Copies of this chain bind each other. A is one copy, B any other.
C-alpha cells in the first residue's frame, strides 16, 4: 500500500555516491556544482519524483523566513458576503504564493480563542479575522500581536485594538442609497438596522440620518427599527404599513431583510416600486432572484478580501512596517434595479 517512504536528499546522495550537501546545492542549481553532476542529480530527482520536505525547509529557515500560511477566521461560511471575502482572500493569497487555512468561529468567543491558539501553534504567518458576535475580550488578539503575528480585521473590526482593517464604506453606501430614494421622490423613508453595538450599524445609521438631512427630510423615530433578518422583517413590517402615515420607502441593512419587507409589502397589495420603494445592502444572490429585482448597495466582498490579504502580506513581507495599522475602506456601489423608481 503505502510503499513510498518519501524520497529524501539523503537517499539521492547515497544512491549517487555524493554528499547531501552536494545534492542540496545541485537541486538549487548552484553554480558551485559541476554542470554534469548537477544535471545528473536533477534528473535523478525528477525521475524518482523527489519532493523537498517543506517542514524541514521551514524549520531550517524559521528564524528568517516566516511560513506562507495565512490563517483566516470567518464567523460563518454559508453566507454570500463571507464567501465572497474568502474568495478574494484566496485569490490574492494564491496569486502571491501563499495558502490559506480556514477556520469558522461560529460566532463564538471560545472557538475564536482556541482557533487563534491553534493557528499560532501551526505557525501561520498572519491572521485575517472578522470578530465573532459575542467577542468582547481581546486578549487573544493581543497575544497574537505580541507573538509577532500580524493581524488584519475585516467586516467586524475590533475597535479596542489598533490593528489593520478593511471595511466597506457603510456610511457613504447608505448615504447614497437613501439619497437615491429621496431623489426618486420618497418622503417617508424607513430604516431597518442592526443593533447599534456594532460599528457597521452605527455607520449605516449615520449615513441614513445625513442623507435625510441633506434632502430636507426629517428623521421620524417611528420609522427606525432594529431588524436585520427576514423573519423579523416579516413580523414588524405589517404594523409599519398600518401606521396613519406609513413609509413610502425602506432601507434595509441587508438583502435578506429587504426581501422580507418586499414579500410583506407585496402581500399587502402595495405596488413596488410605484407605491413603496425598497433598497437593500449586500447585492448577493438573493437580489436578482426576487420580483422585482432588488435595488441594493453592492458590498464588494471579493475586493474586501483582496485588500485584507494585500495588507497582511505587506505586513509579513515588510513592505508595510510592522506594527503599522493600515486602514482601508472599500467603496460601495449602488446597484439600481426594480424595487426603486427611476427619476
Contact = CB atoms under 8 A, between A and B. Distances in A.
Interface in A116-168: 118, 120-123, 143, 146-148
B83 A78 contact: yes
A239 interface: no
A4 interface: yes
Contacts of A78: 80, 83-84, 87, 302
Contacts of A5: 63
A69 B259 CA distance: 40
A55 B59 contact: yes
A51 interface: yes
Contact of A322 (B1, B56, B87, B284): B1
A53 B123 contact: yes
Given A78-B80, A99-B122, A143 B49 contact: yes
A94 B90 contact: no
Interface in A65-110: 67, 69, 76-80, 83-84, 86-87, 90-91, 94, 99-104
Interface in A268-324: 284-286, 289-291, 302, 321-323
Interface string A43-69: 000000101111110110011000101
A86 B100 CA distance: 14
Report the interface size class on chain A: 35 or more
A2 B144 CA distance: 11
Contacts of A25: none
Contacts of A2: 148, 322
A83 B91 contact: no
Contacts of A259: 289
Copy number of this protein in the oligomer?
2
Interface in A245-282: 259, 263, 266
Contacts of A302: 78
A52 B121 contact: yes
Contacts of A56: 59
A77 B69 contact: no
A6 interface: yes
A87 B80 contact: no
B123 A54 contact: yes
B77 A99 contact: no
Given A54-B122, A55-B62, A56-B59, A147 B103 contact: no
Given A54-B123, A62-B53, A286-B286, A86 B77 contact: yes
**3 nearest CB pairs, A to B:** A77-B87, A1-B322, A289-B289
17 contacts: A3-B148, A4-B146, A4-B148, A51-B147, A54-B122, A54-B123, A55-B58, A55-B62, A69-B122, A83-B83, A86-B102, A90-B102, A99-B122, A101-B101, A284-B285, A286-B286, A290-B291
Interface of A: 1-6, 49, 51-56, 58-59, 62-63, 67, 69, 76-80, 83-84, 86-87, 90-91, 94, 99-104, 118, 120-123, 143, 146-148, 259, 263, 266, 284-286, 289-291, 302, 321-323
